[in-house]
Amino acid sequence: MAASIPFRATMSYSKLFTQLAHLKVRWRGFASSSKVLCASSEETASPSYGNTTERDPFPIFVDNEVQDLLSKITGFDILKVAGPHKRHLEKPKYRLLTDAELKGEMAAARDRLSKRLQIPPYMNPRKPNVTPLAVDPDLAHFDTSNYVFTDVTFGIKDRDRTVVVRETDGTLRIAPWDVRDRMNQIYNPREGKEYLKPQMFDEKNLERMIWEKKYVYILDRACCQFEPDDPDFIRTTHRVYKAVDSAGDHDDLRSTRHFGSLAFYLVWYKMADSLLLDMLKRDFASDAADLVKLYSIVHPQSACTTSLKQLSSDSNLAAVVQVYIDTTSTLSSELQLALQALEDAD
């Protein structure tokens, strides 16, 4: 168990410290109690999208079928996945290989690259912990600053780490998320994450970068900087997805790890029409059908799902898309035209 004192650390504090750490606190009990507190605490300021925020998207997101559909939609343009990205330059290595060895190397490289398409988890924003663990008025004004206690046991995961704060009024509570993130970065630093949030994620800079269409870079950096359930992460990514959707730049994200997130976000908030149109215009009929299937999984109560169930299992892709156009679409005339053009081409 280690603890960090903000601003000052003197020898005379060490004794008080040990006492504080053991006062009324059974350390291991927190892991279970924190979850209960999470559930009971009040909701964060999340965007009002109606009832959809109440549901937790993560269990649906990690479902195998959904993951399969998402990775199929993403596609695998090897030139884009293996394309140039900034890293330290090394001298190339040359080797003489037999045909069989070359084939093996190619397969290994493909394997390695497909791991780069892992989709970042799609989650709801996390809730703040407000209920105090213990209130000790006797300890009030023991110092002028808060004490943060961090569990630095070896091998513990960042998300399971116990971080508590003893406040100046003697209250002991689970550390707020931002304190927690900073403590994690101090004791278990992760490469690519800054201690302070980069100014890039401020409103002004973010809008500038979206205007410059640096979508992939913003999303990549957001992944490095934030946890997937950080409200900042969700705000940033949703802003970018919205910009991509309204600008019709869906193709910029194709064959990157963020395309799945984009598709899931659009389907979740029932805004997938322009993405579907983009797919049909680019001749990705099977992708379009997969998107409709995804829609039916995410919204099992919708009209689209019920009509889709009535379809025979071996019906063609166009029929599946047709169901979506008939039941849920808001851009039905344009979609109908695109689908018609696609069928005529075949």
Partner 1 sequence: MAASLRSLLQPHIASTFLQQIGYGNQLTWCRNLVLTKRLLQDDAASIEVEADDEESGATSPKRQVVDVGTSIRYLDSKAFQEGYGDKPVWFHYRRNFKGQIAPKTRKTCVRSGELATSSPCPVCRDEYLVLDAKNTKLLEQFISPFSGEILDSQKTGLCQKQQKTLELEVMRAQDEGRIEKQLPFRTYNYDDYKS
Summarize as ranges the residues that interact with partner 1 (CB under 8 A): 35, 38, 58-59, 62, 84-89, 115-116, 118, 120-121, 123, 157, 159, 190-192, 194, 198-200, 205-206, 208-209, 214, 217-218, 220-221, 223-224, 228-229
CB nearer to partner 1: give 159 or 309: 159
Tokens of 339: 């689908």
CB nearer to partner 1: give 6 or 189: 189
**Could you give the maximum distance between any two Cα atoms of the chain, in Å?**
83
Q: Is 86 exposed, middle or buried (0-12, 13-18, 19+ CB in 10 A)?
A: exposed
Q: Quickly list DSSP for 294-328.
A: HHHHH-TTSHHHHHHHHS-TT--HHHHHHHHHHHT
CB nearer to partner 1: give 39 or 345: 39
Under DSSP, the state recorded for 212 is T
To partner 1, the closest distance from the beta carbon of 184 in angstroms equals 13
Q: Is residue 174 within 8 Å of 30, Cβ to Cβ?
A: yes
To partner 1, the closest distance from the beta carbon of 194 in angstroms equals 8
- B/e letters for 149-162, b = 16+ CB within 10 Å, e = fewer, are bbbbeeeeeeeebb
To partner 1, the closest distance from the beta carbon of 20 in angstroms equals 29
Q: Quickly list DSSP for 233-290.
A: HHHHHHHHHHHHHHHT-HHHHTTSTHHHHHHHHHHHTT-THHHHHHHHHTT-HHHHHH
To partner 1, the closest distance from the beta carbon of 89 in angstroms equals 5
Kindly report the CA angle at 67 between 50 and 107, in degrees rounded to 5? Answer: 150
To partner 1, the closest distance from the beta carbon of 191 in angstroms equals 5
CB nearer to partner 1: give 143 or 220: 220
To partner 1, the closest distance from the beta carbon of 326 in angstroms equals 35
CB nearer to partner 1: give 22 or 35: 35
To partner 1, the closest distance from the beta carbon of 341 in angstroms equals 38
To partner 1, the closest distance from the beta carbon of 154 in angstroms equals 17
Contacts 24+ apart (CB under 8 A), 157-162: 158/184, 158/188, 158/190, 159/227, 160/31, 161/188, 162/27, 162/30, 162/31, 162/34
Q: Is residue 145 within 8 Å of 286, Cβ to Cβ?
A: no
Q: Is 229 exposed, middle or buried (0-12, 13-18, 19+ CB in 10 A)?
A: middle
3-class DSSP state for residue 171?
strand
CB nearer to partner 1: give 200 or 271: 200
Nearest to 307 by CA among 324, 294, 291: 324
Alpha-carbon span 183 to 89, nearest angstrom? 33
CB nearer to partner 1: give 136 or 229: 229
To partner 1, the closest distance from the beta carbon of 162 in angstroms equals 16
CB nearer to partner 1: give 26 or 86: 86
CB nearer to partner 1: give 58 or 142: 58
